[in-house]
Chain A
Amino acid sequence: MNPPRAAWLFLAPALLVLGVFFLLPVLGALILSLTDYDLYALADLHNLRFVALGNYWELLQRPLFWSALGHTVYFVAAGVPLSMGASLGAALLLNSPLARCKPLFRTALFTPVVTTVVAVAVIWRYLFNTRYGMANHVLGLAGIHPVDWLGDPHWAMPTIILFAVWKNFGYNMIIFLAGLQAIPPELYEAARIDGASNWRQFRHITLPMLGPTLLMVGILTVSGYFQLFAEPYVMTEGGPLQSTVSVLYLMYDEGFKWWNLGSASAVAFLLFVIMFAVTALMLRLVRRGEHPDGGPA
């Protein structure tokens, strides 16, 4: 058996799986989004009609699509900076020479990441219960009136954001920690000799050296947060008053509750286009912001 033939045999199973169960369905979604595939077509394919961009056009005129997009953008715009800030803060603490028992703290802070979203969302639902939840009890001790965390349309999304930050910050913390440990200690020593304060060291050494890591983590976190689904599904069922319906929640309802698979595919593709545009824009903005001669100032 010659190497090229062997190579294809080694590749065949994985490529077959990815082709049949991913590539083909993605192309299928594109076609599906141009049809009126619904419950009638599910029963009998003869009812299927080609509607060109009709699904997209209708979606863009539906208030529910825009509010779902708004909720998702809210979740991304508030959740990503908070998550990354928490991750960076925790990584800086863990990287500090003053910290004790580092492996223990690292494990403790990372633990929420490996837990099952559904299970911990159920826990949070009780912790943030308006009447007997721990969160309101603690606030009550400080003399603050109880908050209707998951029942008030203004508070439901912030509560879900808080939950997402708690669940996810450990992941990026590990990546930041590795990035911090890769910064040569000589840089800090030289800065200390020059009398630079802690803040100036952070601003002029740590941040620039972490730059590429921050960009990569930012892009990955943004695309992850755009895919909000399980949290509202378990914690609020999209409510109250549809205030936590995300784009994927809309896709799920549209596709698997109402069986409008054509229109749901259009939702999925619009989400993909928006995610792609946002991450590409982030890349461009950062690239343009960099000095051509580069390097930490």
Chain B
Amino acid sequence: MSPRLAKALVNGLLIGLAAVALFPLLWMLSVSFMAPGEAGALPPPLLPAHPGWANYRELFLRAGMGRYLLNSLLVSGAITALSLVFNLMAGYAFAKLRFAGRERLFRALLGALVIPAQVAMLPLFLLLKYAGLVNSYAGVVMPAMATVFGIFLVRQYARSIPDELLEAARIDGAGEWRIFARIVLPLLKPIIATLAIFSFLAAWNDFMWPLIVLTGQEHYTLPIGLASLAREHAQDSELMMAGSVVTVLPVLLLFLSLQRYYLQGLLLGSVKG
């Protein structure tokens, strides 16, 4: 094969793959601006004849999408903030503080990763039901406040902090909490960004647990609200595409702006999954 042909082949295949990856998303955006019923025509139109915001107006004014959006922001924001604090503290302790049984405890945590999360969901539902937390934001947020993956990520990264630095601070009389806040956290900045975007995306996209624990519309997050809309409005493709845009766009923009941190975390986490 001539080098020029090979080059055309490689780049042609890449363009084809990119088109397959992006087409459904671009089509979603286009259809969301179409008039009701327009997307059901044959042949399927690629672009709206008269683009308008009618579907979005319908979603926010009549279908309660604004509430779902706020719920999603609130729940994902709370999960991100709380899990960040707890995972950073635990990951740092596993990496840098000496105590009896440290390695055994950490291995036990990693071992727990083989248990699929769904095994815990039925008893967790009962637990929250008896605690009166079913159909509340807390019911979604509390179980996600710490993750083994997050602790693992922080530990991997924090191990590179030199012990001498911490020892010097201890000799100067700094307390452990002060050392963590003043010396360790600034050094962990890159992993904080990585963990934050990971947690936020995971919380935003989570489906099965919120579906189980949120039983009332007023607490629905976007994926749950969208799934329930999709069952009621199966025929309104334009409206549903607008709903998909509202659900996907925030995380897509977040990913595009912080891509470097996200991909770094993906690779760190897979070193020894």
* B-binding residues in A (CB < 8 A): 1, 3-4, 6-11, 13-15, 17-18, 21-26, 28-29, 32, 90, 93-94, 96, 98-100, 105, 107-112, 114-120, 122-127, 131-134, 137, 166, 170-171, 174-175, 178, 216-217, 219-220, 223, 226-227, 229-230, 233-234, 237, 248, 251-252, 255-256, 261, 264-265, 268-269, 271-272, 275-276, 279
Contacts and interface: CB of A to CB of B under 8 A. Distances in A.
A105 B14 contact: yes
A124 B115 CA distance: 31
Contact of A216 (B116, B223, B263, B270): B270
Nearest to A272: B119
9 contacts: A10-B89, A11-B89, A15-B90, A93-B17, A111-B252, A117-B205, A117-B223, A127-B24, A131-B42
Contacts of B116: 223, 226-227, 268, 271-272, 275
Nearest to B22: A108
Contacts of B176: 1, 3, 6, 9-10
Contacts of A22: 112, 117, 120, 143
Interface stretch (B49-57, B59-67, B97-105, B186-194): B97-105
B216 interface: no
A118 B119 contact: no
B44 A137 contact: yes
Contacts of B90: 10-11, 13-15
B98 A25 contact: no
Contact of B97 (A3, A223, A234): A3
Contacts of B27: 123, 127, 134
Given A10-B97, A216-B270, A21 B223 contact: no
B126 interface: yes
B24 A23 contact: no
A265 B205 CA distance: 25
B175 interface: yes
B247 interface: yes
Contacts of A216: 270, 273
Nearest to A118: B223
Contact of B14 (A23, A24, A99): A99
Contact of B205 (A23, A116, A261): A116
Contacts, number: 271
Interface of B: 3, 6-7, 10-11, 13-14, 17-18, 20-22, 24-25, 27-28, 31, 39-44, 85-87, 89-90, 92-94, 97-100, 102, 109, 112, 114-127, 142-143, 145-146, 148, 151, 175-177, 180, 201, 204-205, 207-208, 211-212, 222-224, 226-227, 230-231, 237, 240-241, 243-244, 247-248, 251-252, 255-256, 259, 262-263, 266-267, 270, 273
Main secondary structure on B side of the interface with A:
helix
A9 B28 CA distance: 49
Contact of A8 (B20, B99, B118, B231): B99
Given A29-B123, A132-B41, A96 B10 contact: yes
Contact of B115 (A14, A26, A134, A248): A26
Given A114-B205, A119-B223, A229-B207, 15 more contacts: A7-B99, A11-B89, A13-B85, A13-B90, A22-B120, A32-B126, A116-B247, A118-B223, A118-B247, A120-B25, A120-B244, A126-B241, A127-B27, A234-B230, A255-B122
B141 to A, nearest CB: 10
Given A17-B86, A223-B116, A252 B208 contact: yes
B252 A115 contact: yes
A147 B231 CA distance: 22
Contacts of A94: 14
B44 A134 contact: yes
Given A1-B176, A23-B112, A122-B226, A13 B97 contact: no
A166 B42 contact: no
